Amino acid sequence: MRLGVLDVGSNTVHLLVVDAHPGARPLPAYSHKAELRLAELLDSSGAIGDDGIDRLVGTVHEALTVAEDQGVAELLPFATSAVRDATNADALLRRVEGETGVTLQVLSGEDEARLTFLAARRWLGWSAGRLLMIDIGGGSLEIALGVDEAPDAAVSLPLGAGRLTAARLPGDPPDPADVRALRRSVRGEIAEVVGEFSRYGEPDRVVGTSKTLKQLARLAGAARSSEGQYVQRQLGAEALRAWGPKLAGMSTRERELLPGVSEGRARQLLAGAVVAEAAMDLFGVQSLEICPWALREGVILRRLDRLRAA
């Protein structure tokens, strides 16, 4: 069957169309995305303004048209951190449903972590052993650890690259004092949860699943995306530490010119690097592997599992 996953994320609204069958690997058929950067549209009260909601409604309408054109049999719509944390989330969801007919399922942070972990586990297989997964989104950071398809520990922290950039790094390039303050704050928040994971033992393998980590790995010398998803890509802690000060001294325009860095993510890349370095240091990770599957694939796999069980 042809499934469509509509992911209303903190950076983008992404429709992924796949040909999927229970017991088989989902095959990507079409991808449509629009950058809204909802995490950066939150006002001083934590609400997404009318302009942001208007843009979201229009983008969902556009995604529905694409899904129809692509022959999608079932649409799986969900929203993550930016909508979940907005103080006017209920009003936003009512408008989206009333004007488009789409009921967005708002995932909890733990749901995000667990579904992303499921995708990474299925991609890597049982031979990966005890798996530690790190995902840096626009609005939140998810970390999960386990030996099965459901993690033993899973947390979500409000440390997304877009959220932190908007709230903590106003300059372009940012003030060094702001970068130092962000670094201290991020490390403090991550340190609070490390103990929840340490009791389960050291991971056998560590993966990163986000666009931010993919771009940082590319800066560190990983293969281009054009070389295919089966090429192994690594992000080393030493290379990441070397790139942090460089990114801190660059303007957004200068970052846009770096290999593998997209225009829409360039401004957020420094905050993402700060979070990635902190997570790797505090969890004792020397190198992580980039996994091409993440939350959207996890949502698809869960739906296929339920179809198979029915």
11 or 250, higher pLDDT: 250
Say if residue 41's pLDDT is above 90.
no
State the Cα–Cα distance between residues 257 and 180, nearest whole angstrom: 25
Average the pLDDT over 1-8 and give the result. Answer: 96
pLDDT-derived band at 213 (thresholds 50, 70, 90) equals: very high
- Give residue 226's pLDDT: 84
Say if residue 286's pLDDT is above 90.
yes
- For residues 63 and 56, the answer to whether their CB atoms sit within 8 Å is no
- Global confidence as pTM: 0.95
- Give residue 123's pLDDT: 97
- Structural fold of domain 2-106: Nucleotidyltransferase; domain 5 (3.30.420)
- Give residue 94's pLDDT: 97
The CA distances from residue 171 to 102, 165, 179, 250, 270, in Å, are 38, 9, 10, 11, 12
- Quickly count: other Cβ atoms within 10 Å of residue 125's Cβ: 9
- Structural fold of domain 109-295: Nucleotidyltransferase; domain 5 (3.30.420)
- Give residue 230's pLDDT: 86
pLDDT-derived band at 45 (thresholds 50, 70, 90) equals: confident
pLDDT-derived band at 24 (thresholds 50, 70, 90) equals: confident
Average the pLDDT over 84-94 and give the result. Answer: 95
Q: Count of alpha carbons within 13 Å of 206, Cβ hemisphere only? A: 21
State the Cα–Cα distance between residues 291 and 207, nearest whole angstrom: 6
Say if residue 34's pLDDT is above 80.
yes
Say if residue 310's pLDDT is above 80.
no
pLDDT-derived band at 65 (thresholds 50, 70, 90) equals: very high
- Give residue 204's pLDDT: 98
User: Do 2-106 and 109-295 show the same overall fold?
Assistant: yes
pLDDT-derived band at 269 (thresholds 50, 70, 90) equals: very high
Q: How many angstroms from the chain centroid is the CA of residue 68?
A: 26
- Give residue 128's pLDDT: 96
State the Cα–Cα distance between residues 258 and 277, nearest whole angstrom: 19
Average the pLDDT over 91-112 and give the result. Answer: 97
Mean pLDDT for all residues in the chain:
95
- Give residue 75's pLDDT: 97
- Give residue 12's pLDDT: 92
- Give residue 11's pLDDT: 86
Which has the closest alpha carbon to 163: 274, 52, 41, 266?
A: 41
Say if residue 68's pLDDT is above 90.
yes
Say if residue 307's pLDDT is above 90.
no
- For residues 79 and 71, the answer to whether their CB atoms sit within 8 Å is no
pLDDT-derived band at 264 (thresholds 50, 70, 90) equals: confident
Q: Where are the domains of the chain?
A: 2-106, 109-295
Largest separation between any pair of C-alpha atoms in the chain: 56
